[in-house]
């Protein structure tokens, strides 16, 4: 069975229907890229999966369990991690504090209940170990005590990715991870995502076609609130309607 | 501060002020956690200090009637009662992420509790309030009626409050609170419930407010429904803002100012409320972040331009003279026509005395203007 299963999903924002019957199956271990023109509903789909947008109709389930009606933190605890197109970091908190707070959930500390409330965050042994290994994996150990607001852009993106990974998700949703990066930074970053996301199911929204073809083994094209085609990267590249709608225009601007 | 404390040990009135200051500092520390760290702007924080005060005064009466509970532990019970009340009320207030919704719900709850307290005079004592005797502690306890001992007890509770605050902010939930203030939605993407974080923090803040209220009850030995009033809630907000919310030291400054402004100043002048309002506007206008860390920086700036600071000082003196004479003139039928302004005898019946204030103000403005235009030419 698929890890993520979306059926007949309708979402409207205000009075505007954005998603009109999205059907999508993502088997465990697959890496899927969502592409489509601006306003096709890619971010809205992420919002719907993570509980930020309400579905009017349809079903979203993770490993057979419905995610509809759950709040964001409950969905995250069931194994969904998400990064944002525009980094959403806590400007005054240090890099290490970000990772400490982010890994609490994966270690079973849930705000008060259970153990951990009466301990100092920095003294929790399992938290410390985990943060140390994550700092190394993200190559952020030299800036562990720097406030996130003072990091250079590419490293903020890395921390953003780290926050999504720290909750130890089964399903990792990345919203334009390389947005705003230079070509060389992007190449480097894609290699890092490839290594860090190993063993996880990945859904990726991306405009940068080389990134899509490097990372994804399956591509879904979203157009006017529906999935136009979901196929392997090669097939999508040669699909006539997709070329007409999307790829050709992209290539023309590149 | 140390010299003041030493002198106060010999003077009961000053000692009373110091005890009230310690309680006010604890109250401002509680508000600092809520607003400074959690970004929750409460318009009804007096509910929790008031709940602590009433729990304390009832417990003190029960102790007097033979209940076994040490008088020195009364604030712990009062604080726990306030935290307990904050469980349902804080749950209501922290449901929404919006600062405005939080502020309005706390305002509404404050009005509700204030009005409710007046409806049950048997519990809250009506206008007369409820009184008790803090000297009626257990056999082995010292006599808390002696102010130096009560002052020492209050200081011990201040130390406890600081320890609780520091400890709490170091826990996972305490650290999450700062993250929630900056971006609650992002916190939920870390698998943590931002509402739960705010709710728990609200209860910790209520505990500290209850501690402050209980110390007030121990000192005053009387509590009336006035402790729930909107004015009390506003005072916490105003003096916390004046002290500054960025640093813990701001809460200390705010607490000291609260007692100076609402206890000492009214005994000096009938125009105290006007001066408080002016001070609030001037401080927030000149130092939007509050006196901590604004004041040290302002002092440095004044040292570089002493004539400017002097001119503002003279302006304030002149304004004060004018305000005092106006109040005296309005109340002349009760208080007479003459007043003593900083050692100077002013008479509201003498027309030329009225010129003193405006003359000082005009002089100060002239100096500031000349200084400004001089710089403009240079």
What is d(CA B373, CA A178) in angstroms, rounded to the nearest whole number? 54
Comparing CB atoms, the residue among A73, A93, A111 nearest residue B173 is A111
- Per-residue pLDDT of B282-291, as tens digits, reads 999 989 999 9
The Cα of B31 is separated from the nearest Cα of chain A by a number of Å equal to 20
Chain A interface residues (partner B, CB cutoff 8 A): 50, 52, 71-73, 76-77, 81-82, 88-93, 97, 100-102, 104-106, 109-112, 116-122, 124, 163-164, 166-167
Domain boundary among B186, B209, B227: B227
Q: State residue B378's pLDDT score.
A: 45
In a domain, B222, yes or no: yes
Q: What is the CATH number assigned to the segment(s) A1-79+170-254?
A: 3.40.50.300
B40: number of Cβ within 10 Å: 25
Domain boundary among B227, B261, B282: B227
Angstroms from B184 CA to nearest CA on chain A = 10
Residue B258 lies in a domain: no
Buried b or exposed e, range B181-193, using 16+ CB within 10 angstroms: bbbbebbbbbbbb
Joined together, the tokens standing for residue A83 give: 């990064």
Query: Considering its fold, how many domains does chain B have in total?
Result: 2
pLDDT recorded at residue A107? 87
Using CB atoms, which residue from A76, A120, A122 is nearest to B191? A76
Contacts of A92 in chain B (CB under 8 A): 178, 182
Q: For each of chain B's 378 residues, which pLDDT tens digit applies?
A: 666 666 656 678 899 999 999 999 999 999 999 999 999 999 999 999 999 999 999 999 999 999 999 999 999 999 999 999 999 999 999 998 899 999 999 999 999 999 999 999 999 999 899 999 999 999 999 999 999 999 999 999 999 999 999 999 999 999 999 999 999 999 999 999 999 999 999 999 999 999 999 999 999 999 999 999 999 999 999 999 999 999 999 999 999 999 999 999 999 999 999 999 999 999 999 899 999 989 998 999 899 989 889 999 999 999 999 999 999 988 888 888 888 888 888 888 888 899 999 999 999 999 999 888 776 554
Chain B partners within 8 Å of A90 (Cβ): 178-179, 182-183, 186
What size, in residues, is chain A? 254
Q: What is the pLDDT of residue B9?
A: 60
pLDDT at A10 over 60: yes
A71 CB neighbours in chain B (<8 A) are: 188, 193
- Decide which of B227, B262, B278 is a domain's last residue: B227
Give domain status of residue B246, yes or no: no
Shortest Cα distance, chain A CAs vs residue B186, angstroms: 7
Interface touch B171/A121, C-beta < 8 Å: yes
Domain ranges in chain A are 1-79+170-254, 94-168
Establish if B249 belongs to a structural domain: no
Cβ atoms of A78 and A62 within 8 Å: the answer is yes
Find, in chain A, the residue whose alpha carbon is nearest to that of B176. A101
Q: What is the pLDDT of residues A182-200, one digit of tens each?
A: 999 999 999 999 999 999 9
Asked if residues A201 and A173 have their Cβ atoms less than 8 Å apart, the reply is: no
Distance from CA of B173 to the nearest CA of A (A): 5
pLDDT of amino acid A34: 94
- Residues of chain B contacting residue A148, judged by C-beta atoms under 8 Å apart: none
The model's confidence at residue A207, banded by pLDDT at 50, 70 and 90, is confident
Gap from A118 CA to chain B (nearest CA, Å): 6
B170 and B44 share one domain: yes
Closest-CA distance of chain A to residue B1, Å: 33
Gap between the Cα atoms of B42 and B31, Å rounded: 8
pLDDT tens for A69-121 read 999 999 999 999 999 999 999 999 999 999 999 999 888 887 555 545 677 88
pLDDT of residue A240: 80
Same domain, B38 and B169: yes
Cα(B49)–Cα(A12) distance, rounded to whole angstroms?
A: 46
- pTM comes to 0.92
Comparing alpha-carbon positions, the chain A residue that sits nearest to B179 is: A90
pLDDT at A253: 44
Q: What is the pLDDT of residue B129?
A: 94
All residues at 6 or more sequence positions from B172 whose CB lies less than 8 Å from its CB, including other chains: A100, A101, A104, A109, A111, A116, A117, A119, A121, A124
Residue B166: closest CA among chain A residues belongs to which residue?
A120
- pLDDT (average), residues A158-175: 95
Across the interface, whether the CB atoms of B192 and A101 are under 8 A apart is answered: yes
Residue ranges making up the domain that contains B362 = 305-377
**Confidence band, pLDDT 50/70/90 cuts, at residue A126:** confident
Quick one: pLDDT at residue B217? 98
B368 inside domain? yes
> Is B286 domain-assigned?
no
Pairing of strands B344-347, B338-341: antiparallel
pLDDT of residue A114: 52
Asked whether residue B325 falls in the same domain as residue B213, the answer is: no
Cα nearest neighbour of A83 on chain B? B189
Answer whether residue B247 is part of any domain: no
Q: Are strands A80-83 and A171-175 parallel, antiparallel or unpaired?
A: parallel
Could B186 and A77 be called an inter-chain contact, meaning their C-beta atoms sit closer than 8 Å? no
Q: pLDDT (tens digit, 9 = 90+) per residue, A37-71?
A: 888 899 999 999 999 999 999 999 999 999 999 99
Residue B262 resides in a domain: no
Residue in chain A nearest B195 by alpha carbon? A111
In this prediction, residue A40 carries a pLDDT of 87
Residue B257 Cα distances to B270, B287, B376, angstroms: 18, 16, 38
Residue of A nearest to B169 (CA): A120
Whether residues B190 and A101 touch (CB distance < 8 A) is answered with yes
Cβ atoms within 10 Å, residue B378: 5
| Summary count for chain A: helices (H), strands (E) | 10, 10
Question: Cis omega (within 30 of 0) on the bond before B293?
Answer: yes
- Residues B211, B347, single domain; the answer is no
State whether B188 and A76 contact (CB < 8 Å): yes
């Amino acid at each position: 069975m698929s890890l993520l299963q979306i059926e007949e999903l309708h979402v409207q924002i205000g009075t505007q229907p954005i998603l009109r019957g999205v059907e999508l199956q993502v088997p465990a271990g697959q890496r899927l890229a969502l592409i489509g023109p601006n306003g096709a509903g890619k971010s809205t789909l992420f919002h719907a999966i993570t509980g930020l947008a309400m579905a009017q109709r349809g079903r979203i389930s993770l490993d057979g369990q419905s995610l509809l009606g759950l709040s964001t933190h409950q969905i995250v605890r069931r194994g969904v991690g998400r990064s944002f197109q525009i980094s959403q970091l806590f400007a005054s908190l240090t890099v290490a504090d970000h990772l400490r707070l982010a890994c609490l959930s994966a270690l079973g500390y849930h705000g008060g209940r259970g153990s951990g409330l009466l301990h100092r965050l920095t003294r929790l042994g399992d938290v410390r170990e985990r943060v140390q290994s994550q700092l190394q994996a993200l190559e952020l150990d030299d800036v562990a005590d720097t406030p996130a607001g003072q990091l250079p852009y590419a490293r903020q993106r890395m921390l953003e990715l780290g926050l999504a990974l720290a909750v130890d998700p089964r399903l990792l949703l990345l919203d334009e991870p390389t947005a705003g990066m230079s070509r060389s930074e992007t190449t480097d970053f894609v290699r890092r995502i490839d290594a860090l996301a190993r063993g996880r199911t990945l859904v990726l929204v991306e405009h940068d076609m080389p990134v899509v073809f490097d990372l994804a083994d399956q591509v879904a094209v979203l157009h006017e609130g529906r999935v136009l085609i979901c196929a392997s990267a090669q097939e999508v590249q040669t699909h006539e309607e997709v070329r007409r709608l999307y790829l050709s225009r992209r290539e023309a601007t590149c | 501060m140390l010299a003041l404390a030493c002198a106060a040990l010999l003077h009961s009135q000053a000692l009373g002020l110091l005890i009230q200051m310690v309680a006010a500092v604890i109250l401002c520390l509680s508000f600092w956690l809520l607003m400074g760290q959690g970004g929750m702007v409460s318009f009804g924080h007096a509910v929790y200090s008031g709940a602590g005060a009433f729990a304390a005064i009832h417990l003190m009466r029960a102790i007097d009637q033979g209940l076994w509970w040490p008088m020195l532990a009364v604030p712990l019970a009062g604080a726990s009662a306030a935290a307990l009340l904050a469980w349902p009320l804080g749950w209501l207030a922290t449901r929404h992420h919006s600062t405005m919704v939080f502020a309005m719900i706390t305002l509404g709850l404050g009005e509700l509790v204030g009005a409710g307290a007046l409806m049950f005079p048997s519990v809250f004592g009506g206008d007369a309030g409820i009184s008790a005797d803090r000297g009626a502690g257990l056999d082995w306890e010292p006599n808390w009626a002696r102010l130096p001992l009560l002052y020492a007890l209050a200081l011990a509770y201040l130390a406890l409050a600081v320890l609780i605050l520091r400890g709490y902010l170091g826990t996972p939930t305490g650290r999450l609170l700062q993250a929630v203030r900056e971006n609650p939605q992002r916190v939920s993407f870390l698998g943590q419930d931002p509402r739960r974080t705010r709710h728990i923090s609200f209860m910790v803040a209520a505990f500290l407010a209850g501690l402050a209220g209980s110390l007030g009850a121990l000192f005053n030995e009387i509590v009336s429904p006035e402790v729930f009033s909107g004015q009390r809630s506003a005072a916490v907000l105003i003096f916390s803002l004046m002290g500054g919310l960025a640093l813990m030291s701001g809460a200390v400054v705010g607490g000291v100012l609260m007692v100076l402004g609402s206890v000492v100043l009214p005994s000096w002048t009938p125009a105290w409320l006007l001066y408080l309002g002016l001070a609030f506007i001037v401080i927030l206008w000149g130092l939007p972040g509050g006196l901590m860390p604004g004041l040290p920086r302002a002092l440095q700036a004044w040292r570089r331009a002493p004539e400017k600071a002097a001119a503002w000082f003279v302006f304030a003196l002149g304004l004060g003279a004018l305000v005092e004479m106006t109040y005296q003139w309005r109340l002349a039928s009760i208080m007479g026509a003459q007043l003593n302004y900083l050692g100077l005898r002013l008479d509201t019946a003498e027309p030329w005395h009225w010129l003193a204030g405006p003359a000082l103000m005009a002089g100060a403005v002239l100096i500031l203007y000349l200084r400004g235009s001089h710089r403009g030419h240079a």
